[in-house]
Amino acid sequence: MPVRKLKSGKYQARVWDKRAKKYVPLGTYDTEKEAGYAEYDAEQGRLPEKVATPKVAIPRGREKFEAFALRVIEAGKDKWAPSTYHSHLRDLQKHLKVFHAMPLADIDAADVEDWWNSMEKQKVIRKQAYATLRMVMKRALTRRLIDYTPCLIEGATKDHSKKRPTFKSDDVRLIAMMTDDLQMRAAILTLLGTGARIGELLALDWEDIDLEQGKADIHRHLTPYGLEEGTKHNADGRRVLLLTNEAAEALRAYAYSVVRNPQEPVFTNAWGRRMTYKAFATRFNPLRVTAGFPNLNPHDIRHIHLTEYGRVSTLGEVMERGGHKDYTSSLRYQHTDEERQKAIMEKLERVMFTNL
């Protein structure tokens, strides 16, 4: 039978094309009767080369959440870091399923609250998924598809991650000394000596390292989806970081032990290709365990460096060193512990007494 019912519940009109020896679809319709009329009209005249499916305007707020959310996320793909894009996509596909089939206008505060309570045992994941949900509903509100956003959970942005233990630079040096692998030692001490992100470290090619001047040109970062230009939060981000003498010496020792090509990666895996996060972790994790710091991770090393850098620099200088776009990220490294306060007070007293 030319007219056939689709899984969606709609009806597809078709006519037989003698030349192609197959049925050609004319379009989809809400009722079998409408599809029959379309089929009859086509048989009475010339078979159209292409018949487009009639577009039916979706009433305000009746678009399904999943379809709208997917369009919002895809629209942001070129603006976000790859990790951010995939995070939103994962939240939509895995953690926001309860809203998929619901029209935007039907999602109310009670629905969001019920979903929130159902995720009680996954607080960190819940917070991230809520951010995706709130972004989508805010976009729907901006486009006037809904009258208000149902995302009204108080304290939803509260940080539920466990407090990280405090580590010192000597802890990192001990880990570096646990290996005879000059490459791993150089990688660990370069992290400690620059405050670079692990992705920025792994993206370095030999042409990005000036061994004589002790500098590293940070202009790319490695992600699970490949190399990306700029920094994690800024595609145009680029900064030149002076190395500590310790890091520079470790890099020189490693450089003299290998054959270097300017366009090849500094840190490589067992096959000579660019080292990945997983390859780094495979080598790093046993070292930290042996040194007695099983919970110390690469980002902790960045935190250690920027904290120590922040003790002797301004907030703006910490922002530049860390590659931050806003001051709030850098403020966490401006510690005012007792040692720092003591140094400040000594300087203050010298100034005060000098002016007497």
**CA distances (Å), 173 to each of 250, 255, 292, 354, in order?**
11, 19, 12, 41
Boundaries of every domain in the chain:
4-44, 65-142, 169-331
Superfamily of domain 169-331: Intergrase catalytic core (1.10.443.10)
SS3 for 236-260 is CCCEEEECCHHHHHHHHHHHCCCCC
pLDDT band at 30 (very low <50, low <70, confident <90, very high): confident
pLDDT band at 49 (very low <50, low <70, confident <90, very high): very low
Q: What is the pLDDT of residues 207-223, one digit of tens each?
A: 999 999 999 999 999 98
116 pLDDT above the threshold of 90? yes
Q: Is 100 helix (H, G, I), strand (E, B) or coil?
A: coil
CATH class of 65-142: mainly alpha
Beta-sheet pairing, 22-29 with 209-210:
unpaired
pLDDT given at position 51 = 44
What predicted TM-score, i.e. pTM, was given to this entire model?
Answer: 0.62
Q: What is the pLDDT of residues 50-66, one digit of tens each?
A: 444 455 567 888 999 99
Please state, rounded to an integer, the average pLDDT across all residues of the chain.
84
Across 127-131, average pLDDT: 94
Of 44, 53, 46, nearest to 25 by C-alpha is 53
Q: Is 228 helix (H, G, I), strand (E, B) or coil?
A: strand
